[in-house]
Amino acid sequence: MTPNLTTDYEFLVSLWFQWLDQPQWQPLDRWLKSQKKMSRDPLQAGIAMHAAMRFLHLACALESAYKNPQETLDIQAWDQSWSLADIKKVPAQALWYWVALRAAEGQQATVAAPKKLRDAHQRHQFFLQWRARSEADHNNAHYWLWQGVRPSLKPLLDERARQSHWSTESYQTFLDKQTVQPPLWLRLQHGVKANSVVAGLRHSGIHASETDDGISVQGGKNIVTSQAYREGDIEIQDLASQQIAAAIAVKPGQKVWDACAGAGGKTLAIAARMDNKGVVVATDLQAFKLEEIKRRAKRAEFFNIRTFPWDGEAPLRLPAEVARQAGFDWVLVDAPCSSSGTWRRNPDARWHFNPQSMDSLLQLQQQLLHQASASVRPAGALVYATCSWCVVENEEQVEKFLAAHPTFALESMTLTGAPEKDADTMFVAVLRRV
């Protein structure tokens, strides 16, 4: 869906200044929800702001190169020195025009320029020259900016491509997907018919489709207002996240621990296959997230979910029924990470990513794995997951853990979601205790 940038520049510029005036920039989705003075079409405003975040770096580069035609922009050097503070140097009208031009690519749409932008024709011609240079060589920095990815991240993505054995086409698909938001994916509760849910959602004004991978939603009314959601027939869960939950081959009656449960998406997906038999322990550092799990479990009528706070500083104190079998059958560590795999959905997060400042995060991931592994019973499984595509957070962490814990063996590990699926990109590894 294309942002309505051609007629709403005045509003969008005002919205942009409100964004810039924040004392500390908060996540875009949270900020948009907090805005009380939205336009008559807040959905379109949100789409436009997401487009601005997606092509923010490109717009800054275009402006810098356009304003200095006598100099050839060294994009690699420019990228290394660029920071978020630099966006304030780009006139708002110009920024939105660059974003509008890029967002309209591939669509049958003519982009009108802001009335106050007197050199719009020259800017459009410059934009077309940039596009031609990007299309001519997919290895140059122009192309990476065109795809909404910092050129400095190319070595990390090259490493991912090698690790996952991506073909040239898969790599291209991954980059192409970074320019568009994935659909909202829904998970059906056991026994619920997909065709009846889709029909009901469409009747409610929600643009739902049934695919081979499940139900996806792209536009329309808010899904949480639907009867299917209120009655617990569906849950919002990205397809890649559903694939992580599916890696836990749980059986009714088994004992499972979701160590970093968050709001409980994977907790509920696991419980859905247990027929209310056995137990799912969900823990998190933040108490408000545990309250959300309780609310969602009640709506879904799952009565075998228990919640406890856990800070990861020491092994979990096992519930009595778990201690009797010497640990859990399954332990999931969905660890805090860079969240690079969710940049399609949260494009503003990509500009806060700094691969040189990940040491504390990597240490935390190893700590959580170590502490959680003590609760895995013999022949049980430890499942490590992230919503990141970075090899250093995934395969390298698994390798380090196995080197330090010889009682575990690698059973499987894979990247889920994009580029194969129109979803986020996540990682999951299953480590069996021997």
Q: Which residues are annotated as a binding site?
A: 284, 311, 334
Contact (Cβ atoms closer than 8 angstroms) between residue 372 and residue 331: yes
Which residues are known catalytic residues?
Answer: 387
Pairing of β 206-211 and β 328-334: unpaired
* DSSP letters for 45-61: HHHHHHHHHHTHHHHHH
Question: What is the bridge-based pairing of β-strands 328-334 and 376-386?
Answer: parallel
198, 239, 372 from 202: Cα distances, Å: 6, 20, 43
Specify the DSSP class assigned to residue 222.
Answer: -
Give backbone dihedrals phi and psi of 381, rounded to 5 degrees, phi first: -130, 140
Pair of tokens at residue 149:
């990815």
SS3 letters for 99-154?
HHHHHCCCCCCCCCCCCCCCCHHHHHHHHHHHHHHHHHCCCCHHHHHHCCCCHHHH
**SS3 of residue 288 by DSSP:** helix
Distance CA 290, CA 285 (A): 9
Q: What's the distance, CA 161 to chain centroid?
A: 19
With contact defined as beta carbons under 8 Å apart, do 140 and 124 qualify? no
C-beta separation of 361 from 413 below 8 A? no
Query: Annotated binding residues for S-adenosyl-L-methionine, as ranges?
Result: 284, 311, 334
Tell me how far apart the alpha carbons of residues 239 and 229 are, in angstroms, rounded to a whole number. Answer: 17
